[in-house]
Amino acid sequence: MKIAVIIPSRYGASRFPGKPLVLIKGKPLVQHTIDRVRRCKKIDFVAVATDDKRVYDAVKKQNSHVFMTPKTCKSGTDRVAFIASNFLKSYKIFINVQGDEPLIDPNLIDKLALTLEEDKKLECVTAAFKIDEEATIKSPNVAKVAIGRDGYAVYFSRSVIPYNRDNVKIKYYKHIGIYGYRRKFLLEFSKKEMSLLEKAECLEQLRALENGKKIKVIVAKHDSIGVDIPSDILKVEKYL
């Protein structure tokens, strides 16, 4: 079963314009993400999906695969679906790794791919990491996920979920920007209109939940430092 990793990379991010090409240790952010993905063992193909020629040219310069996607693609998943539909028609599993995840764990990517390979009924899978720091739990720049007993996502939010009214012992999970899809799910998802919850939270995964789809959540052993705002660059450089 052929597996592709597509890395959506948008130049005009509202909170951090030009983010994909910001240099970290002398290398563009998006290239750090590509290099991490290339360490995977179960992946057959890696490419960037962008709607900006500056990103396209920068990736090409590094001899990496890259596709231009229409400006009409509203989310990273829509970009992955465009490539699946128009270029990679023989691939059955797609992994969406956000372009702003320069420290993503290659083993986690492989685990998502393996999970989809082994469970034929599973349509979509993502990842999360247990968090304890209050500032992270409350930050609107960090997407959180509430996970049910069956291991599937109940809800994703930038707010604190669940709200701990009675101060009970509860676990909080940060959502990691990675998704695995079966081809049919991916193409069906991209045809759905942006949902109200998706627009409100600016979280594309809510479109799936609002349409009655289930998303399996794998709890990762290691956190991934994503780049949402300029100050995150310092965190990544410190880790490197």
Q: Quick one: pLDDT at residue 228?
A: 82
Angle at 218 between CA 213 and CA 222, to 5 degrees: 145
Least Cα distance to 28 among 6, 43, 48 occurs for: 48
Spans of all domains in the chain: 3-239
Query: Which numeric CATH code is attached to 3-239?
Result: 3.90.550.10
Q: Quick one: pLDDT at residue 82?
A: 97
| 116: phi then psi, degrees, rounded to nearest 5 | -70, -35
Q: Quick one: pLDDT at residue 108?
A: 96
Question: What does the alpha-carbon distance between residue 155 and residue 191 come to, in Å, rounded to a whole number?
Answer: 21
Share of the chain above pLDDT 70, in %: 100
**Token pair of 79, please?**
């970009």
User: What parts of the chain have a pLDDT lower than 50?
Assistant: none
Q: Quick one: pLDDT at residue 200?
A: 96
Question: What does the alpha-carbon distance between residue 93 and residue 4 come to, in Å, rounded to a whole number?
Answer: 7
Give the pLDDT confidence of 32-76 residue by residue, as tens digits. Answer: 999 999 999 999 999 999 999 999 999 999 899 999 999 889 889
Q: Quick one: pLDDT at residue 14?
A: 75
Q: Quick one: pLDDT at residue 74?
A: 84
Please tell me the pTM assigned to this model: 0.92
Count CB atoms within 10 A of the CB of residue 27: 14
Q: Give me the sign of the Cα torsion angle 158, 162, 163, 164.
A: negative
164-180: b (≥16 Cβ within 10 Å) or e: eeeeeeeebbbbbbbbb
Q: Quick one: pLDDT at residue 38?
A: 96
Q: Quick one: pLDDT at residue 193?
A: 92
